[in-house]
C-alpha cells in the first residue's frame, strides 16, 4: 500500500512525501525533493529533512510509523471505534495495517497532515446532522462491545486522537442549537469542538475537567476555549474547542512530545526533558516558562496522567514553533503506573513538592520561580470557586480537593 502525505498548513497543500509498506510489514517514508527544498521541518527530532531516500523508523518498539505520522493515529477510544468500523466492513482487525488506519483518517486527522488516497467511506465525509445524545448512546454501545451499528458521525468524530475517554468531534453553530458531525466539512459559520461524554450520571467528569481547566487559566496557563453542554437526559458533557483547525483558517500542524521524541505513552518522562525540547523547538524563553508553569500546575493539582502524548507543540511555517494550548487538564491518576506520575522531576515520580519545582526551575534558568509556583498555588486554593462555577456538588468538590497537593502546601 502507498499513501501520499500532504501538508494542509500552506495554501498550495504541498506534497510532503510518500509512505509505503513492504511484504514484511515494514513501513518506509521518503520526502518529496520539492518539500525538502522548502525547508519546513515538520518533525525535526526524529524525521529531519536531512534523512533522504526511503527510511524506516529506528524505534519500532514505539510504533511502526515515524512519530510524525503516529500522531495522526487514533488513541484507545478511536482504535475501539475503528475496530468496529472494519468489522462492519468484514475485515478482521488483525489484517488492518497501520497505513489502512491512516487512509481511513484521510484529510481529517489531527493537525495539518492529510493522507491520500482517502479510503474513508463517503458517509464519513458528508455534513451530517447529529444529536449529542445519539452519540452518547452509541458510545455506550461501543463500550459494551455490541453496537447494533456504528453511527457514521461517531466514527468520523471518534477517530481523532486525544485520550481514552469516549468522545466525538462535533461542529456547532454559534448558538449551540444545531450541530453536525465534525469529522468532515462543516457549514462555514460552524466551529469544531471535541465533546468528551459523561456516560455515568454519578461521575461528573465533565464538570470536574471544566473546573480544573478554568483554574489553570486563572494560573496564567494558555488553555483552549471550553464549555459544558447539557443533554436532555441530565448528563453534562465537556466541550473543548479544536485549536488545530479553525473555520476560515489553514489547519495548524500539531506534534506531541511523544511523536517528536518517539516516547511511548507507557514510558515515564521527565519535565526537564520537556522544557529542554521546548527551548530547542521554540527558541523562546517565554514558552519554556509556560512549560514550567504547566509542570507546576500538573504536580500541584495531582494531574498524574501528564504523559508524553498530553504535551504538544504547534508549528506556523511563518513564525516557528509554539506550545499548543494545554489540554486534558484534570485531576487524574496515571493508569499505567499506580502511585506514580507519568511525568516527574530528576527521576522522582511521586511525592513531589515545591522544592522539586524550584530545582527544576533553577536547572532550566526559569525566571521568577517562586512567583510562578505561588501563582499556581493561589489559583488552586480558589478551587471551591471554580468547582461551584462548573456546577460540581460541594461534597464531590471537597473530595477532589483532598487529593490536590497544593491545597496543603
β-pairing, 226-230 with 2-7?
unpaired
Separation between Cα atoms, residue 69 and residue 50, nearest integer Å: 18
181 phi, psi to nearest 5 deg: -60, 135
**Does pLDDT of 8 surpass 60?**
yes
- Percentage of the chain lying above the pLDDT 70 cut: 91
What pLDDT is attached to residue 74? 81
Count H helices and E strands in the chain, helices first: 15, 15
Confidence at 160, pLDDT banded by 50, 70, 90: low
pLDDT: which is higher, 244 or 119: 244
Quick one: CA dihedral 288, 279, 210, 242, positive or negative?
A: positive
**pLDDT (tens digit per residue) in 42-76:** 999 999 999 999 999 999 999 999 999 999 988 88
pTM score: 0.93
The arrangement of strands across the sheet holding 167-172 comes to 179-181, 167-172, 191-196, 236-241, 226-230
**Does pLDDT of 106 surpass 90?**
no
Confidence at 25, pLDDT banded by 50, 70, 90: confident
What pLDDT is attached to residue 121? 60
**Does pLDDT of 114 surpass 90?**
yes
Q: Which three cell numbers stand for residue 117?
A: 488516497
Confidence at 400, pLDDT banded by 50, 70, 90: very high
Considering only 26-30, 171-175, 218-222, 356-360, which range has the smallest mean pLDDT? 171-175
Separation between Cα atoms, residue 302 and residue 334, nearest integer Å: 10
**Does pLDDT of 77 surpass 90?**
no
Mean pLDDT of 317-346: 88
What pLDDT is attached to residue 275? 98
Mean pLDDT of 150-162: 62
**pLDDT (tens digit per residue) in 163-208:** 667 888 888 998 898 888 766 667 788 888 999 999 999 999 999 9
Question: CA dihedral in degrees (140, 74, 308, 310; nearest 10)?
Answer: -60
**Does pLDDT of 268 surpass 70?**
yes
User: Cis omega (within 30 of 0) on the bond before 117?
Assistant: yes
What pLDDT is attached to residue 296? 98
Share the mean pLDDT of the chain.
Answer: 90
Confidence at 124, pLDDT banded by 50, 70, 90: low
**For residue 162, what is the DSSP state?**
S
Range with the largest mean pLDDT of 168-182, 239-253, 335-349, 388-402: 388-402
Confidence at 6, pLDDT banded by 50, 70, 90: very high
Q: Of the candidates 400, 406, 409, which has an alpha carbon nearest to the alpha carbon of residue 330?
A: 400
Amino acid at each position: 500500500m502507498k499513501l501520499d502525505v500532504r501538508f494542509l498548513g500552506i495554501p498550495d497543500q504541498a506534497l510532503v512525501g510518500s509512505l509505503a509498506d513492504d511484504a514484511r510489514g515494514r513501513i518506509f517514508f521518503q520526502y518529496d525533493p520539492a518539500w525538502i527544498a522548502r525547508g519546513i521541518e515538520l518533525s525535526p527530532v526524529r524525521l529531519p529533512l536531512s534523512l533522504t531516500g526511503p527510511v524506516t523508523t529506528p524505534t519500532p518498539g514505539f510504533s511502526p510509523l515515524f512519530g510524525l505520522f503516529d500522531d495522526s493515529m487514533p488513541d484507545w477510544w478511536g482504535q475501539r471505534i475503528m475496530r468496529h468500523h472494519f468489522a462492519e466492513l468484514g475485515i478482521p482487525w488483525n489484517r488492518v495495517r497501520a497505513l489502512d488506519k491512516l487512509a481511513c483518517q484521510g484529510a481529517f486527522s489531527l493537525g495539518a497532515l492529510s493522507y491520500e488516497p482517502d479510503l474513508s467511506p463517503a458517509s464519513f465525509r458528508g455534513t451530517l446532522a447529529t444529536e449529542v445524545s445519539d452519540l452518547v448512546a452509541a458510545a455506550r454501545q461501543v463500550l459494551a462491545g455490541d453496537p447494533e451499528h456504528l453511527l457514521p458521525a461517531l466514527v468520523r468524530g471518534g477517530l481523532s486522537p486525544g485520550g481514552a475517554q469516549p468522545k466525538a468531534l462535533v461542529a456547532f453553530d454559534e448558538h449551540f442549537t444545531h450541530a453536525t458531525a465534525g469529522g468532515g466539512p462543516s457549514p462555514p459559520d460552524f466551529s469544531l469542538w471535541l465533546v468528551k461524554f459523561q456516560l455515568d450520571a454519578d461521575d461528573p467528569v465533565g464538570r470536574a475537567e471544566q473546573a480544573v481547566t478554568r483554574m489553570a487559566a486563572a494560573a496564567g496557563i494558555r488553555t483552549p476555549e471550553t464549555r459544558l453542554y447539557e443533554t436532555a437526559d441530565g448528563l453534562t458533557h465537556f466541550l473543548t474547542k479544536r485549536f488545530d483547525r479553525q473555520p476560515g483558517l489553514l489547519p495548524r500542524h500539531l506534534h506531541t512530545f511523544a511523536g517528536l521524541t518517539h516516547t511511548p505513552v507507557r514510558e515515564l518522562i521527565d519535565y526537564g526533558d520537556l522544557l529542554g525540547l521546548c527551548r530547542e523547538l521554540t527558541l523562546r524563553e517565554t514558552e519554556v516558562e509556560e512549560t514550567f508553569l504547566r509542570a507546576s500546575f500538573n504536580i500541584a493539582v495531582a494531574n498524574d496522567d501528564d504523559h508524553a502524548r498530553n504535551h504538544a507543540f504547534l508549528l506556523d511555517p511563518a513564525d516557528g514553533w509554539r506550545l499548543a494550548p494545554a489540554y486534558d487538564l484534570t485531576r487524574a491518576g496515571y493508569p499505567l503506573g499506580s502511585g506514580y506520575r507519568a511525568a516527574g522531576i530528576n527521576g522522582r515520580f511521586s511525592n513531589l513538592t515545591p522544592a522539586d519545582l524550584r530545582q527544576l526551575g533553577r536547572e532550566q534558568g526559569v525566571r521568577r520561580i517562586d512567583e510562578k509556583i505561588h501563582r499556581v498555588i493561589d489559583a488552586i486554593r480558589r478551587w471551591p470557586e471554580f468547582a461551584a462555577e462548573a456546577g460540581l456538588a460541594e461534597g464531590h468538590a471537597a473530595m477532589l480537593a483532598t487529593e490536590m497537593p497544593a491545597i496543603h502546601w
